[in-house]
Amino acid sequence: MQCHEVDYEIIGESMQMVEVELDPGEKVIAEAGAMNYMEDDISFEAKMGDGSEVNEGFMGKLMGAGKRALMGESIFMTHFTHNGQTGKRRVCFAAPYPGTILPLDMSAIGGGITCQKDAFLCAAYGTKVSITLNRKIGSGFFGGEGFILQRLEGDGRAFLHAGGTIVERTLQAGETLRVDTGCLVAFTDGVDYNIEMQKSLRSAFFGGEGLFLVTLRGPGKVWLQSLPFSRLADRIIKSAPSAGGSSKGEGSVLGGLGRIIDGN
């Protein structure tokens, strides 16, 4: 199915939103709960499936919903449609944590991309959103993303979200890049994805980088994130007060005293 052609604007710096512009009759699909605001004449409907398969049928939609449930995502996707007769209308989406939005022209990268399971934000109607099972056991158990990765296919615009800053790397044939397991966002077809154990156990256990690293071999493009959400969440949990009300000041012995003075 040919994707709808949509225009867009990225808003913000460190906590970005994407504003998608729709002509009459055009649609955009998004993860449930990603919408921030929408203009008049735009309606939305929660549906099972992305709508890319015209003759998919109920059972096909049900199987797709089951796969999304395996990823921990909502079984429904939200379809936004410009139902007006004239003019352009806009709908805006944002991810639930700080980071950067990556706009992709799917036709320019071969029509397909594999990404971490929670990277998808929204896309032009006609984009197929599915899951793919990692065929390598080592990657499945130790890759940070498990066996389940997300697969996007189409010829229109798709938008991914990642934590912190996004870095794009183009790997030549045979070129290798080793990455922290949580920092990989997406990669194009042709890139070989695997997990390799560090040779030095001392470095693995005491170096803070973990026991396994993702190995990416070209040719193709890869996108990396500077701040995986799991890393951010771990830091917040470590810095949060305990259930008993005690806490530790960070960076200063006066941290706890400062909270007492503030009334906390």
Question: Contact 210/204 with Cβ under 8 angstroms?
Answer: yes
| Rounded Cα gap, residues 254 and 46, in angstroms | 51
pLDDT at 54: 59
Beta partners for residue 11, in sequence order: 17
Range of the domain at 217: 7-233
Q: Is residue 262 part of a domain?
A: no
Q: Is residue 250 part of a domain?
A: no
pLDDT at 66: 58
The CATH number of residue 75's host domain is 3.60.160.10
pLDDT at 107: 94
Sign of the C-alpha dihedral, residues 207, 208, 211, 217?
Answer: negative
Q: Could you say which residues of the chain have pLDDT below 50?
A: 139-140, 142-146, 204, 207, 243-245, 249-254, 257-263
pLDDT tens sequence across 85-105: 999 999 999 988 888 999 999
Q: How far is CA 246 from the centre of its chain?
A: 35
| Rounded Cα gap, residues 69 and 78, in angstroms | 15
Q: Is residue 74 part of a domain?
A: yes
pLDDT at 62: 59
- Report the b/e string of 110-143 with b at 16+ CB within 10 A: ebebbbbbbbbbbbbbbbbbebeebeeeebbebb
Question: Contact 8/20 with Cβ under 8 angstroms?
Answer: yes
Count of domains for the chain: 1
pLDDT at 210: 52
Q: Is residue 241 part of a domain?
A: no
pLDDT at 9: 96
pLDDT tens sequence across 121-139: 999 999 999 887 665 555 4
Phi, psi of 216 (to 5 degrees): -115, 130
Q: Is residue 72 part of a domain?
A: yes
